[in-house]
Structure 1
Amino acid sequence: MTDQPAHVVPPSYATTQLSRALTRLVESGDERALKKVRQWEDVLAGIGSGRITVGSRAPVADTPVWVTLEVAHGGFATGRALSEVPLTDDEIAKLRQLPGDVPGGTDRERLNLWYLGDAGQAELVAALRAGHYRIDVAEDAALPVVALLLDKGFAEQALDLVAQLRPLMGRLRMTPRFEPVSRPSGAAVRVASVGEVAESLRAVTMPPQLTAMRETLGVWTPLYDRLVALWCRTVDGELPTVDDQVVRGGWPCARYPDDWADERARWIADFDDTARRHLLSGRHAHPKSNFARLHAALRSSEPLSARDVGWIRRAIANTVTRHGAPGSADREHVRAQQAAVVAAPTHVSLANVLLKRLDGVPVDSGVPSLDQLVAELPEGTPIPLHLQDKVARAWEAPVDELVRRGVITSGEVLAIVLPQLTSRLMASGIDDPVLAGLYEQTYTAFRRRRSLLLLNLEHQVRFEELPWTGALAPLRSASSDNAAFRSLQQVTMLALTEFPQTLLPNPLVGELGALANRAGVELPLVEEVAADIFMGTFTTKWRDAAAVASRTMAGTLYADYYDLPAAARWESPLRWGRRTADDFAKVCAERAKEAGEPTRSWVARNGAVLEQSQILTTHNLAVLVNGLGLAGQVGERAEELALRAFDWTVRRLAQRPATRHAALIQVKNAAHAWRQAIYLLSFCEPARRRTIAQRLEERVAAQGIPWFQPAVGGLIGVLDGKRFDAAGAVAGGRRFLGWATGKHWCLER
């Protein structure tokens, strides 16, 4: 890879993504592929025209940072605003009812301005009080907030807000859809709505191989049996069979019953009719199959040769030997089993059963229970587990219950549902239930916003930066929230105990940060940074997090294994008034030399530096466990969690990656899990650490990955009081890191 500044996004990235999207469109032809093609065409057109600036918080010209943008994979803005949509049928009908003197240069502007008038405000307030509205995009709440502010006597704040919104009223929808929305109550959350689940059920299809098999068994095999029986009637003597590769028994075509010609004509007519409606499939479609030979002989208008009769005899012998004679008990038993397979409900039909059971449930709601939905059919057919899992995504239940039941399967999914809970806590400081409901819906919509690719240490747009959110400040309580603190503790423990092998994903870190703000707790939470956009420095929160890690982990296995600096290292007065933590970046760069000699791959160099930033900060573990008082709870389960993280690491590395890139990802993820295991192991008693290390050694041997033994040896060496040298080596072992600037020793297999 050529040397390239880390802050430059490769110009070929969007072109490559467009090429991949076009390939998928050609292969699948579905709407999703077409949408991706359109998105990447918009990205490239916007970059080419200068309208889009990649890496900026406001990447689209003439569009404020708070506008919700359409974002393609990788964080690239397409130039479209999600609230810049055509008028709905309801809005068109409303527009026709407006007085002719309503100003506005576009239909959207006329509607927005009408809702600023007395009649429009009254309609908005009535809908909010009745709960008859839906906020899909955060901008949908802008004019409702104006209406409520005016209704409550905050005219100055309302006018200031209108001044900020006015330039975009001709483009953006700023009102909600006037329809009720169903939301879980209390502590309940759901992964998906009933409508989303229904869409996934409708997408269930029959694999082509299964379709062909069912057609073969249900359509062509009965015809084949009739064909075999027809030829068997011409055999003189015992039906032929195969014995040790030799055909024995009578010969076909030796006699023809009086009705044979009529039966022959009837079979040919039935075959032709079936062939018009079904494609010949399965083994019967092979040109040298028994079916094909018997069929060809039956249709022949020429006298059959001795060779033809021999093939007929062989075909009869093959099928009689394998399945029994036509009408025999053996053949009937086989056909009964095959008929049962054909008669069994398909996954498509069972998905349709689930769709019918969901009829009548509002598409935007969830389901309070799964028992009746996934109950087996009256005839005893169970609903397959993978279809049950689809329906379970709409189940409304507390977060911990969804995790326990396997509905929430990762930290990423946990991050998807958490805004539903966070939104209620964020709205809890508003006494007015009408305003609180609007605030809750707005927050949930905002958290669905996709992150942008940002450079120059920029941060994503925060909820408080929405103009209408800031306008609500006088109506919100500034006090901290004990419920938010308890939720913060609960979610942190869920993520750590259910997914001990994975980093906290960025969306989850964002939600934890929002909960911390609501709870009045200052936590320097840090995000995972992509190696291909890293600029070589960090903001001061990384330094603050490292200080917490050095202080709280001093003298522990984690500090010894990763050679954490002393807490005093982070007490320099240089930090005050500075946006960046240059000293922290310098330490990371120095420590990254362990990854190997300098290389032209700037991504590998960046990756090695970023890995050290995660090591120094424990990537939020020390900050959360210390700041939330969770050390005791973690300690109680530390041995179990460490074992699970170690086991995951070993299982992951035992898998054979398909490509070099997959191998690099495999090692990187395994190193994440290993680091979390080391952190958890630090809470165990010294004697138990040795026992766990021995078990780990046995697991490595059992999985057949002896090349990973140096990592285990390095851990045992540290447990024995030894220390890694500058190259990350210790007698009999190596420190396990995920990045290398040359070939990783884990890949030298």
Structure 2
Amino acid sequence: MDENEKRIGTGYATAQLAKAFATSTGHEDAETRQRAGERLHRWESVLRGMLNGVLTIGSRTPVAGLPAWVTLEVVRGGFATGSAVAGGPLLPHETALATRTGLPAQRRALFAHHLTESGLAELTALLRAGTYRVDVPEAAALAVVAWLLGTGDRNAALALLDEIGPYADRLRFTPVPRDVPAPGPAVVWRETAADVSARLAGRRPDERIEAMREALTVWNPFADRLLALWLDTVVDGRVAVRFDDRWRDRAITLLDHYERLATVHRRCGKHRRPKENLAILRAAVQDMVDGAGLTARSRGLLQHAVDSMLRRRGRPGSPEHTALRTRQAVTGTAPTHHTFAQLVGDRVADLPPDAGIADVVAVTAPVRAGEQGAPAGAPIPEPIRRIIARGRAGTIEELVAAGVVPSAEVLAGLVPRIAAAATAAAYPDETLRALVAATHQAFGNRRSLLLRNLEHQVRFDELPWVRALAGHRHATDGTRDHADAALRRLGQLTLDAFPATLLPNPMVRQLAALGREADAGLPWVEELAADIFEGTFSGKFLAAAKIAGELLAGSLYERYYGIDYAALARIDDVDRRGRHAAATSAAFDALCLTRAGSGGWHSVAANGTVIEQAQILTTHNLATLVHVGVSPTAGWPDLARRGFATALVLTARIRHNPRPLPTIKDTAYAWRQMLFHLSMPGVDPTAAVELFWDDLDRQPPFVRDRLAPALDGLAHVVAGGGFAADGTARTGRRLLGWAVDRHWLR
């Protein structure tokens, strides 16, 4: 059994299940345990399905009995659990429909209802009003049927029903009604108001802060009362000398009060610690009430406690003591972050739950008169404001500028709305265009499956209800221009925001879809997983490398990585491997293997070195972005400087890192992005390297020592030199992310 067979065998699933089980039973945080328990359940489903033959991991149709177009629940690594996202129990609106119509609470009955005259009328009304949500692609199917029938295309509608009908009892094929129309495609958000509301509701009180508040507002005042009781017994500075007739009654009252306080206020344990002043005073009172009296030791402890309390805070009722307790009372009664979370949560609850927050300023405004929990005018704390910011709605550019988008992966999750609008532009009917856009956006949220034999993920036009609309799609020069503009917009935004990060696969898929809409015919290459790599690349990798060669021939990039783009341009052998495989090039495969020097597909690390060479040759889509006209707003020198800054930050994270290899890979990827930027027209690599040395000199010793060989190697190439076969040049080294043996950055 080779490494890839092990990867998609039960061993990987078993390991993930064991990891989830350990976290679900041993983690100190309850919410983390709960999330791990949910992962445990999903991995149990994966493993059970693999063992009983229901799941075929690595196939486009991994779940027996379900076609490729069904949206599946997919866990880490691309493993299907066997569940369909559009399946499961009825949603609230489905249950309400069954109750209202007197139908059985079954999906097939609801499916049939939507094919009646009244059911079709309901769907048509939703479409015309735009008051619906497509949260999974299947939810658009019956709405498409209604639209087709409304336009007289009965044959397409019946053909679609024939294809989806067998799954009517298992899947939901209708959209979710909403109260107001969805915002336009220009508006995006990272989290919905419902997501933000859940985060706010999950904001639990900080036990340490609550204990402190309890100490300030409950136990300190009680300690003052005990101290005042004992001060009434003081003669010439000595405590417990004089007791009047009322002292014992007062003492009993205080002890009773203590029992009530201790029953209700249990966060602060200070009063239960024998060595604390409050506990000493209370124990002495108990001894006197019980008639045991004070021993020499307890009398000494009592005297010390009283003296220290007077010395630190003054006598209860004195100006200094009153001022201190007043300040502490203010602190102890100030609203906590938990209180503010509840207050802001009430504001968010009034917003549409399935959209972002359009007016973040209003939601995070200071406390208004009449709002409970905090004084009017109190500002909302920054941690609560950050939660609200996650739900901010606006253009992608606005969200990036506001710092709401922390990574290229998060950015990729926002772009389906933009790509969806461009994809839907080819449908002339406005109602249909909105439905297709909503469907495409839901499709963009599908998780990728683990696939073998170069099979590709299901594409949007493979969905039966999208194919049924083919006759109503009319691509024009205008719609192609629209897609091309969206492609360049997203590409530039990614470069500007994250110049040192690989394009994540979800973003690559969106760019590829836009490229198809624009009829550009360009290759967009995904990042491949080293643990399932099968030793060959699809033909688009060679095409992407040739585009890179046209741009980078004779450049710093070519010389640094020792590429012969002229020779690569002459590779034209493309064959077919497997019935479902995309075109591949044996010569390109061999070139990557030779450049990696790994000697074959023996391990994950060896696979990684080969994949990295393909990324180097293709520039992992950077050259393709330039080819379609993308250029950074601030210029290539700025991107190069930011790429080097990212490499510095990542290098610092290698130290004391128990898992340094992912960080080393990210460092090398940032370095490669930087080299690409340095190789663009208008960039002076010599001046840039001088600035890099200045930046490196300001770093801690660890970073300087680790990254100096890489920068020295770059300076050597900039000056006209090159690397030896082993990637060294005097004291310099070529920086790569993968290594079969121990990496020199570790």
**TM-score (structure 1 length as normaliser):** 0.91
- Post-superposition shift, 1:530? 1.4
1:241 maps to none
- Post-superposition shift, 1:436? 1.3
1:409 maps to 406
- Contact 1:323-1:331 within 8 A present in 2 as well: yes
Aligned equivalents of 1:185, 1:446: Cα separation in 2: 17
- Contact 1:650-1:703 within 8 A present in 2 as well: no
Aligned equivalents of 1:735, 1:120: Cα separation in 2: 66
2:720 maps to 721
Q: Deviations over 1:566-614 (max 9, x none)?
A: 2342332312667222222211111112xxx779971111111111111
Alignment of 1:80 with 2:78, yes or no, is no
Aligned equivalents of 1:87, 1:600: Cα separation in 2: 47
2:228 maps to 229
- Contact 2:651-2:703 within 8 A present in 1 as well: no
1:198 maps to 197
Going from structure 1 to structure 2, the CA distance change for 1:651 and 1:131 (only over 3 Å counts) comes to closer
Alignment of 1:38 with 2:35, yes or no, is no
Going from structure 1 to structure 2, the CA distance change for 1:565 and 1:10 (only over 3 Å counts) comes to farther
1:245 maps to none
Q: Which amino acid letter does the alignment assign opposite residue 583 of structure 1?
A: A
Counterpart selection for 1:254 from 218, 227, 241: 241
Going from structure 1 to structure 2, the CA distance change for 1:94 and 1:745 (only over 3 Å counts) comes to closer
- Contact 1:194-1:363 within 8 A present in 2 as well: yes
2:372 maps to none
Aligned equivalents of 2:278, 2:99: Cα separation in 1: 68
- Contact 1:46-1:78 within 8 A present in 2 as well: yes
- Which deviates the most, 674-683 or 480-489? 480-489
Going from structure 1 to structure 2, the CA distance change for 1:439 and 1:501 (only over 3 Å counts) comes to same
- Contact 2:4-2:532 within 8 A present in 1 as well: no
- Post-superposition shift, 1:712? 1.4
- SS of the equivalent of 2:636 reads helix
- SS of the equivalent of 1:746 reads coil
Q: Which amino acid letter does the alignment assign opposite residue 203 of structure 1?
A: G
Alignment of 1:157 with 2:147, yes or no, is no
Aligned equivalents of 1:726, 1:9: Cα separation in 2: 36
1:305 maps to 295
Counterpart selection for 2:319 from 312, 321, 329: 329
Q: Which amino acid letter does the alignment assign opposite residue 453 of structure 1?
A: L
Counterpart selection for 1:437 from 428, 434, 439: 434
1:270 maps to 257
Aligned equivalents of 1:275, 1:5: Cα separation in 2: 61
- Post-superposition shift, 1:726? 1.0
Aligned-pair identity in percent equals: 39
- Contact 1:131-1:180 within 8 A present in 2 as well: no
Aligned equivalents of 1:422, 1:630: Cα separation in 2: 17
Aligned equivalents of 2:4, 2:106: Cα separation in 1: 46
1:189 maps to 188
- Which deviates the most, 119-128 or 501-510? 119-128
Aligned equivalents of 2:404, 2:710: Cα separation in 1: 34
Q: Deviations over 1:262-287 (max 9, x none)?
A: 22122111110011112162544433
- Which deviates the most, 292-301 or 171-180? 171-180
* Alignment of structure 1 residues 31-70 onto 2, 5 Å: 32-70=35-73
- Contact 1:547-1:567 within 8 A present in 2 as well: no
Q: Deviations over 1:491-517 (max 9, x none)?
A: 212211211121111111111222222
Alignment of 1:743 with 2:742, yes or no, is yes
Q: Deviations over 1:464-508 (max 9, x none)?
A: 110110111111122243232222222212211211121111111
- SS of the equivalent of 1:481 reads helix
Going from structure 1 to structure 2, the CA distance change for 1:708 and 1:691 (only over 3 Å counts) comes to closer
Aligned equivalents of 2:688, 2:704: Cα separation in 1: 22
Unpaired runs of at least 5, structure 1? 238-249
Aligned equivalents of 2:482, 2:81: Cα separation in 1: 39
- Contact 2:73-2:85 within 8 A present in 1 as well: yes
1:590 maps to 594
- Contact 2:226-2:254 within 8 A present in 1 as well: yes
1:476 maps to 473
* Alignment of structure 1 residues 676-687 onto 2, 5 Å: 676-683=673-680, 684-687=683-686
- Contact 1:252-1:313 within 8 A present in 2 as well: yes
Counterpart selection for 2:381 from 384, 389, 402: 384
1:642 maps to 640
- Contact 2:576-2:584 within 8 A present in 1 as well: no
- Post-superposition shift, 1:620? 0.8
2:451 maps to 454
* Alignment of structure 1 residues 128-143 onto 2, 5 Å: 128-143=127-142
- Contact 1:133-1:177 within 8 A present in 2 as well: yes
1:338 maps to 328
Aligned equivalents of 1:187, 1:149: Cα separation in 2: 27
Aligned equivalents of 1:308, 1:681: Cα separation in 2: 78
- Contact 1:194-1:365 within 8 A present in 2 as well: yes
Aligned equivalents of 2:11, 2:274: Cα separation in 1: 49
Going from structure 1 to structure 2, the CA distance change for 1:259 and 1:644 (only over 3 Å counts) comes to farther
- Post-superposition shift, 1:228? 2.3
- Contact 2:58-2:449 within 8 A present in 1 as well: yes
- SS of the equivalent of 2:573 reads helix
- Post-superposition shift, 1:354? 1.2
Counterpart selection for 1:71 from 74, 78, 84: 74
Q: Which amino acid letter does the alignment assign opposite residue 648 of structure 2?
A: V
Aligned equivalents of 1:3, 1:219: Cα separation in 2: 67
Aligned equivalents of 1:280, 1:315: Cα separation in 2: 23
Q: Which amino acid letter does the alignment assign opposite residue 668 of structure 1?
A: K
Aligned equivalents of 2:16, 2:181: Cα separation in 1: 37
Counterpart selection for 2:390 from 382, 393, 396: 393
Alignment of 1:580 with 2:590, yes or no, is no
- SS of the equivalent of 1:235 reads coil
- Contact 1:419-1:511 within 8 A present in 2 as well: yes
- SS of the equivalent of 1:269 reads helix
Going from structure 1 to structure 2, the CA distance change for 1:334 and 1:668 (only over 3 Å counts) comes to farther
1:115 maps to 114
- SS of the equivalent of 2:406 reads coil
2:580 maps to none
Q: Deviations over 1:513-533 (max 9, x none)?
A: 222222222221111111111
Q: Deviations over 1:677-710 (max 9, x none)?
A: 1111223124423323322432445665413321
**TM-score (structure 2 length as normaliser):** 0.92
Aligned equivalents of 1:229, 1:598: Cα separation in 2: 85
Counterpart selection for 1:652 from 650, 653, 658: 650
- Post-superposition shift, 1:59? 0.5
Going from structure 1 to structure 2, the CA distance change for 1:127 and 1:183 (only over 3 Å counts) comes to closer
- SS of the equivalent of 1:187 reads coil
Going from structure 1 to structure 2, the CA distance change for 1:97 and 1:233 (only over 3 Å counts) comes to closer
1:498 maps to 497
Q: Deviations over 1:717-737 (max 9, x none)?
A: 111211011111001111111
Aligned equivalents of 2:339, 2:240: Cα separation in 1: 45
Q: Which amino acid letter does the alignment assign opposite residue 275 of structure 1?
A: A
Q: Which amino acid letter does the alignment assign opposite residue 450 of structure 1?
A: R
- Post-superposition shift, 1:393? 2.6
- Which deviates the most, 378-387 or 427-436? 378-387
1:611 maps to 612
Aligned equivalents of 1:3, 1:576: Cα separation in 2: 24
2:730 maps to 731
Alignment of 1:370 with 2:360, yes or no, is yes
Aligned equivalents of 1:269, 1:724: Cα separation in 2: 84
2:666 maps to 669
- SS of the equivalent of 2:77 reads coil
Aligned equivalents of 2:654, 2:248: Cα separation in 1: 61
- Which deviates the most, 414-423 or 680-689? 680-689
Q: Which amino acid letter does the alignment assign opposite residue 605 of structure 1?
A: A
Going from structure 1 to structure 2, the CA distance change for 1:335 and 1:587 (only over 3 Å counts) comes to farther
Aligned equivalents of 2:740, 2:210: Cα separation in 1: 50
RMSD: 2.5
- Which deviates the most, 285-294 or 179-188? 179-188
- Post-superposition shift, 1:454? 1.7
- Which deviates the most, 377-386 or 212-221? 377-386
Alignment of 1:629 with 2:629, yes or no, is yes
